């Protein structure tokens, strides 16, 4: 009984974010996501209606990572107080996620037509620069929409990590997947839907 309860608590606990900052812009059926992960990898993922998703991954230099981290940390306090302006139905949407080390993850949503605060504008400028560097390269992402995770399956995530499925457990409103990172002792829980979103391709066993 106690063991089952502990497993349930572990499965529902939110894992520590692997990203430092992430921006998702959705206009119509098109989505563009720029992410910087804590391990120093920048990722650009673009999805257009009727097209395969394209993902570009590039490691940042130590200096570049320090600059991005500094911008995120300096913008965090103001963005935490930011609220959307001019958010009208039917407009494009921006979802901004910040997770600097030592601070609570932050999620802000606003319309693309909203007048951004100075902090949001500064962070957007930094992310625009990263996107501009990555946009010329196209890497086709494997279509995993029909993939049903099973114990033993291995996939590569956007941040470059290879994870192996240890177990798959149905819950009330989702399916929880227990993953092992590489061949090490680190494991974490994630929903099946989120795993499909983060997985780039399957890896041979």
36 vs 69, 97, 100, 177, CA distance in Å?
Answer: 9, 10, 11, 24
Sheet of strand 93-98: strand arrangement = 54-59, 41-47, 30-37, 19-27, 93-98, 106-111
CA–CA separation, 19 vs 130, rounded Å? 15
Q: Hey, what domains does the chain have and what are their CATH numbers?
A: 19-134 (3.30.1560.10), 143-203 (2.40.10)
pLDDT digits (tens, 9 = 90+) for 16-29: 788 999 999 999 88
What pLDDT score was predicted for residue 75? 93
CA–CA separation, 82 vs 119, rounded Å? 9
Tens digit of pLDDT at every position of the chain (205 positions): 444 434 443 444 456 788 999 999 999 889 999 999 999 889 998 888 887 778 888 888 888 899 999 999 999 999 888 654 445 455 689 999 999 999 999 998 888 888 788 899 999 999 998 888 777 555 557 778 789 999 999 998 877 889 999 999 998 888 999 999 988 888 999 999 889 888 888 998 7
Q: Provide the β-strand partners of residue 106.
A: 98
């Amino acid at each position: 009984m106690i063991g089952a309860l502990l497993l349930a608590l572990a499965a529902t606990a939110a894992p520590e974010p692997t990203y430092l900052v992430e921006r998702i812009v959705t206009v119509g059926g098109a989505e563009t996501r720029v992410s910087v992960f804590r391990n120093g990898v920048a990722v650009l993922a673009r999805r257009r209606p009727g097209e395969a998703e394209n993902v570009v991954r590039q490691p940042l230099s130590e200096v570049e990572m320090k600059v991005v981290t500094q911008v995120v940390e300096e913008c965090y306090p103001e963005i935490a107080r930011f609220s959307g302006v001019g958010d009208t139905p039917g407009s494009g949407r921006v979802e901004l996620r910040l997770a600097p080390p030592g601070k609570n993850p932050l999620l802000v949503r606003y319309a693309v037509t909203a007048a951004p605060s100075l902090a949001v504008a500064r962070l957007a400028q930094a992310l625009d620069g990263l996107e501009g560097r990555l946009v010329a390269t196209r890497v086709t992402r494997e279509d995993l929409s029909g993939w049903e995770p099973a114990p033993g399956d291995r996939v590569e995530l956007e941040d470059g990590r290879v994870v192996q499925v240890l177990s798959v457990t149905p819950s009330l409103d989702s399916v929880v997947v227990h993953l092992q990172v590489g061949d090490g002792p680190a494991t974490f829980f994630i929903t099946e839907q989120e795993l499909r979103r983060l997985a780039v391709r399957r890896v041979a066993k």
